[in-house]
Amino acid sequence: MSGGLVSTGGSNGARANEMRANIVIVGAGPAGLGMARVLADLGVPDVRIVERERIGASFRAWPKDMRFISPSFPSNAFGLTDLNAISFDSSPAFALRSEHPSGSEYATYLEGAADAFGLTVNSGVDVHGLEPDGDDLMLHTSDGPIYASFVIWAAGQFQYPSDGDIAGADLGVHSSLTHRWSDHPGEDVIVIGGYESGVDAAIGLAAAGKSVTLLSRSANWNVDSADPSVALSPYTRQRLSAALQNNSIELTSDADVLGLERIGEKIRVLTSTGHSFTTSSPPILATGFTGSTTLIAEWFAFDGQGSPRLTLEDESTELPGLFLVGPEVKHEQHLFCFIYKFRQRFAVVAQAIAGRMGLDTTGLQVYRMNNMLLDDVSCCDGDCVC
């Protein structure tokens, strides 16, 4: 049975080794590699990581000007793991000498971590889908079928830009697809979307000497919350505040953009209130990302906000044996969308799988001691008093 004890007999035993593993992890970003490290610490045998490109591919595709908003600091020795580390014994700040690494720097950290942890990644294997097959889960891949007792989906979100269902969106450019802000054509640029990506784009464009109008449904820049999944991060606020002093960014809230249309040489941006904005430069769509679970959506139930429904062990409620790690994990209203959040669920998944395989999980104590095992999802409601 999928998700049950691993069997090497019967039809599973007849499968060639290259076609079968106990566990297949899809994706070699921070989630896939961090997860693999925990399984390695527990001595779980026969874990295979498959990756469509190479380690850290999403980070290598980041716009060159983009930096981590969550800061790195080599604080591990005092029990406070670097916020962007995938394990309690590594630190991007230490490895990269950088507090806000670029995407390519972070990919270098990931490569070093995989090397240090002895993780082998099967690169160039694209997973197209999966389905149950007897006692196994069968992955459809560019290398043919791969069978596993457990699949851990760690395929991220960055590679799946969303256009926010804006009509005429092809007249704009998604924020993740702009190489450098200075390369963007035109002097007056409209940015659609006022969360982290939109504000980051506005700051980058302004720094490149452009005049920016940022259109947002709500004034996120005024939202106060101790949770950076809800409010702008301090790093972004601080840079926005400096950019606003130059008057190169105009912030417009209550601007729910419905569509883009071409009027001669110009592009008109229409909002639900009937206002319109005209520009001769392709608007930047900072309209977010669709999670990679859309590739295997038939094996998840989704809540009203489009998040996959998970058990308390981060297993699909629809398909036993299929686990999710990474930024799409959500419990109650808590989004585990930053590395320092979702890394705390790796040990929960490892505990579930290793437990079902009859393996000793006492090795996870060190994860709990290092705040890397968060199994109480009612944890995160606290706000800050100052």
Ligand X SMILES: Cc1cc2nc3c(=O)[nH]c(=O)nc-3n(C[C@H](O)[C@H](O)[C@H](O)COP(=O)(O)OP(=O)(O)OC[C@H]3O[C@@H](n4cnc5c(N)ncnc54)[C@H](O)[C@@H]3O)c2cc1C
Q: Which residues bind ligand X (CB under 6 A)?
A: 26-32, 50-53, 57-58, 68-70, 84, 126-127, 154-159, 197, 289, 292, 295, 326-327, 337-339
- Residue 27 or residue 282: which is nearer to ligand X going by CB? 27
| Residue 159 Cβ vs ligand X, minimum distance, rounded to whole Å | 5
| Residue 247 Cβ vs ligand X, minimum distance, rounded to whole Å | 26
| Residue 345 Cβ vs ligand X, minimum distance, rounded to whole Å | 11
| Residue 56 Cβ vs ligand X, minimum distance, rounded to whole Å | 6
Q: How far apart, in whole angstroms, are the C-alpha atoms of residue 342 and residue 116?
A: 21
- Residue 286 or residue 364: which is nearer to ligand X going by CB? 286
- Residue 53 or residue 188: which is nearer to ligand X going by CB? 53
| Residue 380 Cβ vs ligand X, minimum distance, rounded to whole Å | 15
Q: Give the alpha-carbon dihedral of 177, 182, 187, 188, to 10 degrees.
A: 40
Task: Provide the residue type at 29 as one letter.
Answer: G
- Residue 159 or residue 276: which is nearer to ligand X going by CB? 159
Q: How far apart, in whole angstroms, are the C-alpha atoms of residue 327 and residue 147?
A: 25
| Residue 313 Cβ vs ligand X, minimum distance, rounded to whole Å | 18
CB 91 within 8 Å of CB 101: no
- Residue 6 or residue 85: which is nearer to ligand X going by CB? 85
- Residue 155 or residue 357: which is nearer to ligand X going by CB? 155
CB 231 within 8 Å of CB 224: yes
- Residue 142 or residue 273: which is nearer to ligand X going by CB? 142
- Residue 155 or residue 251: which is nearer to ligand X going by CB? 155
| Residue 31 Cβ vs ligand X, minimum distance, rounded to whole Å | 3
Name the token pair of 155.
Answer: 């395929």
- Residue 87 or residue 292: which is nearer to ligand X going by CB? 292
- Residue 32 or residue 204: which is nearer to ligand X going by CB? 32
Q: What is the 3-state secondary structure (H, E, C) of the chain?
A: CCCCCCCCCHHHHHCCHHHEEEEEEECCCHHHHHHHHHHHHCCCCCEEEEECCCCCHHHHCCCCCCECCCCCCCCHHHCCCCCCCCCCCCCHHHHHCCCCCEHHHHHHHHHHHHHHHCCCEEECCCEEEEEEECCEEEEEECCCCEEEEEEEECCCCCCCECCCCCECHHHCEEHHHCCCHHHCCCCEEEEECCCHHHHHHHHHHHHCCCEEEEECCCCHHHCCCCCCCCCCCHHHHHHHHHHHCCCCEEEECCCCEEEEEEECCEEEEEECCCCEEEECCCCEECCCECCHHHHHHHHCCECCCCCECECCCCEECCCCCEEECCCCCEECCEECCCHHHHHHHHHHHHHHHHHHCCCCCHHHHHHHHCCCCCCCCCHHHCCCCC
| Residue 29 Cβ vs ligand X, minimum distance, rounded to whole Å | 2
HSE toward the beta carbon, residue 249, CA cutoff 13 A: 27
| Residue 49 Cβ vs ligand X, minimum distance, rounded to whole Å | 9
Largest CA distance in the chain: 70
| Residue 140 Cβ vs ligand X, minimum distance, rounded to whole Å | 10
